[in-house]
Amino acid sequence: MASPNSISFGGDILAPIVRAAIAPAWARWERSPYLKHLRALRNTQFQPRDVILGAQWEALRKILLHGYEQTTYYRERFDEAGVNPRELDSVDDLLRVPLLTKADLRERPGAMVALPFRGIPLHVNKTSGSTGVSVQVKYDEITGQLRRAMTLRSDEWSRWRLGERVAAVWGNPEYVQRGWRGRLRNVLLERATYLDTLKMDESAMRRFADTLRRRPPSLLFGHAHSLYLFARFLRFGGDVPFRPKGIISSAMVLHDWEREVIEDVFGTPVTNRYGCEEVSLIACECEQHNGLHVNADGVFVEIIRADGSPAQSGERGAVVVTDLVNYAMPMIRYQIGDMATATDRECGCGRGLPLIERVEGRIADYVVTPTGEMISGISLTENFAMLIPGLVQLQIVQETASQFVFRIVRGADFGDESLQVLEKLVRERFGCGVEYECDFVDRILPEPSGKYRFCVSKVPNPFSSVASSVSK
């Protein structure tokens, strides 16, 4: 929809100055090595896959040994399981290493901090607790600067370049909490304009659009659904005031129908990124938008079946991630609670970084039908949203195996036909023994983190029970 009359990105004379002078000077002042890391990472991403996987495996062995030798938690867990990290030679050995769950993290965080890091100041990342369990992960400054560089490398895959303006549709801008230094840094270095997702009403979106008209951003960044809502707002107004070089969707699963609207409105491809507070960046799409490249310098990703064995290429499974850089509080075989599809494809972009085919959403968001079939909440909401006329927003809540609530935001053309289609879809998808009710609301509210949840299942599935039993 971005028309030729749209104001495109341009006239940003400060960007090359930030890139060449302000950012390096600021990094020297902060004594931060992140720009040096970034230069190295730009090169290593194009190494052959076997070189990258070899280095990743060595980093994995190193962090396992460190966890075993320097934390009481992993020492106990590995001994109980009969695992000696010095003898880790193959994926089969790795599968014997116990999984780490959110419950473990909540129960014994102190025992997971490595001995050399006890008593020194550490950063803390908290998760929002959207699946009912809020956890905290500590990390040191060295890890923070490495992560900063790894995130910037993936930012650049969107075609944005360091120093260029950013528009962020995000909750709780971090710079505000850092006082005047944070504000100065934002003006001179990060150059981000924020739309707070927790106050995202029409007038806030209009003000945001007006600001971006005056100072067009090179990158639009945000939660998938918030980007979609903003794109839809601009489409209704018939005026898209800027056209970014890149768009990064992060922190939530990006639905295909959201991607279509965002790309159509801005005339720019969306770069889908996957990460979490606990380990930061996990994977990100490159310019080819065909699968997500694993951030192999920072994490080791496994996709496993319900019985704990590795999923094959093309198969869906639970995501398990080991953080390769956080030595302060090692995160070893952490079960994030998400599902993804594995692949051993290589990408045509020339990067040797391995791929994840698709991120499928949270395990807790899977609906389990009365016959035991698992249906991804993402595909369900996508399917319903496409087929039901007049549906603006939908949240599916599975209360029990046979009871559902559909929270629906109606558009002008929502009517009897919409309800008939809904009835038909419910019978097709879940069978005749299922009861449901419709709850018509003005808005589906985001969670405190600013993220939206479109499918909530209160029924456990094979992956949720395996995750907890393996870890006990």
The Cα 172–Cα 58 span in angstroms is: 37
x/- map, 287-326, Zn ion, by CB under 5 A: -x--------------------------------------
Site stretch for Zn ion (CB under 5 A), options 197-205, 228-236, 341-349, 357-365: 341-349
Query: Rounded to the nearest 5°, which phi and psi values hold at 245?
Result: -70, -35
Output 85 or 291, the one with its CB closest to Zn ion.
291
Task: Specify the 3-state DSSP secondary structure of 311.
Answer: coil
**Paired tokens of 90:** 């193959």
Give me the amino acid identity at 374. Answer: M
Output 157 or 242, the one with its CB closest to Zn ion.
157
What is the crossing angle of helices 224-237 and 256-266, to 10°? Answer: 50
286 part of the interface to Zn ion, by CB under 5 A: yes
Q: State the DSSP string of 322-369.
A: EESS--SS---SEEEEEEEEE-----TT---S-EEEEEEEEGGG-EE-
Give me the amino acid identity at 391. Answer: L
The distance of closest approach from Cβ of residue 272 to Zn ion in the complex, given in angstroms and rounded to an integer, is: 12
The distance of closest approach from Cβ of residue 347 to Zn ion in the complex, given in angstroms and rounded to an integer, is: 3
Please name the residues in contact with 166: beta carbons below 8 A apart, sequence gap of 6 or more: 160, 190, 191, 192, 193, 217, 218, 219, 220, 221
Query: Residue 276 in contact with residue 295, Cβ under 8 Å?
Result: no
- E strand intervals along 54-126: 123-126
Site stretch for Zn ion (CB under 5 A), options 6-14, 25-33, 285-293, 324-332: 285-293
Site stretch for Zn ion (CB under 5 A), options 23-31, 342-350, 365-373, 464-472: 342-350
Number of amino acids touching Zn ion (CB under 5 A): 5
The distance of closest approach from Cβ of residue 58 to Zn ion in the complex, given in angstroms and rounded to an integer, is: 23
The distance of closest approach from Cβ of residue 157 to Zn ion in the complex, given in angstroms and rounded to an integer, is: 8
Output 1 or 349, the one with its CB closest to Zn ion.
349
> Count of CB atoms within 10 A of residue 202's CB?
10
Output 270 or 364, the one with its CB closest to Zn ion.
270
Helix (H) or strand (E) holding 292: strand 292-294
User: Which of 7, 349, 385, 444 is close enough to bind Zn ion by CB under 5 A?
Assistant: 349
Output 151 or 457, the one with its CB closest to Zn ion.
151
User: Which of 324, 347, 380, 396 is close enough to bind Zn ion by CB under 5 A?
Assistant: 347
Site stretch for Zn ion (CB under 5 A), options 296-304, 348-356, 407-415, 437-445: 348-356
Output 278 or 297, the one with its CB closest to Zn ion.
297
Closest CA to 314 of 355, 259, 283, 366: 355
The distance of closest approach from Cβ of residue 91 to Zn ion in the complex, given in angstroms and rounded to an integer, is: 24
Site stretch for Zn ion (CB under 5 A), options 4-12, 135-143, 178-186, 340-348: 340-348
- Between residue 351 and residue 370, which ones bind Zn ion under the rule CB under 5 A? 351
Query: Residue 321 in contact with residue 282, Cβ under 8 Å?
Result: yes
Q: Residue 415: exposed, middle, or buried by beta-carbon count in 10 A (0-12, 13-18, 19+)?
A: exposed
The distance of closest approach from Cβ of residue 268 to Zn ion in the complex, given in angstroms and rounded to an integer, is: 18
The distance of closest approach from Cβ of residue 148 to Zn ion in the complex, given in angstroms and rounded to an integer, is: 22
Query: Residue 236 in contact with residue 184, Cβ under 8 Å?
Result: no
**Paired tokens of 8:** 């495109």
The distance of closest approach from Cβ of residue 283 to Zn ion in the complex, given in angstroms and rounded to an integer, is: 11
The Cα 361–Cα 256 span in angstroms is: 13
Output 49 or 232, the one with its CB closest to Zn ion.
49
Output 346 or 399, the one with its CB closest to Zn ion.
346
Give me the amino acid identity at 96. Answer: R
Helix (H) or strand (E) holding 50: helix 49-70
The Cα 245–Cα 167 span in angstroms is: 12
The distance of closest approach from Cβ of residue 46 to Zn ion in the complex, given in angstroms and rounded to an integer, is: 10
Angle in degrees, CA 302, 359, 152, rounded to 5: 85
Output 157 or 228, the one with its CB closest to Zn ion.
157
- Between residue 244 and residue 283, which ones bind Zn ion under the rule CB under 5 A? none
Task: Specify the 3-state DSSP secondary structure of 296.
Answer: coil
Site stretch for Zn ion (CB under 5 A), options 7-15, 64-72, 286-294, 440-448: 286-294
End-to-end CA distance of the chain: 52
The distance of closest approach from Cβ of residue 53 to Zn ion in the complex, given in angstroms and rounded to an integer, is: 16
Output 32 or 290, the one with its CB closest to Zn ion.
290
- Between residue 108 and residue 147, which ones bind Zn ion under the rule CB under 5 A? none
Output 49 or 75, the one with its CB closest to Zn ion.
49
Query: Residue 165 in contact with residue 12, Cβ under 8 Å?
Result: yes
Output 319 or 347, the one with its CB closest to Zn ion.
347
- Between residue 34 and residue 53, which ones bind Zn ion under the rule CB under 5 A? none
x/- map, 368-387, Zn ion, by CB under 5 A: --------------------
Query: Residue 271 in contact with residue 158, Cβ under 8 Å?
Result: yes
Site stretch for Zn ion (CB under 5 A), options 203-211, 347-355, 382-390, 463-471: 347-355
Binding site for Zn ion (CB under 5 A): 286, 288, 347, 349, 351
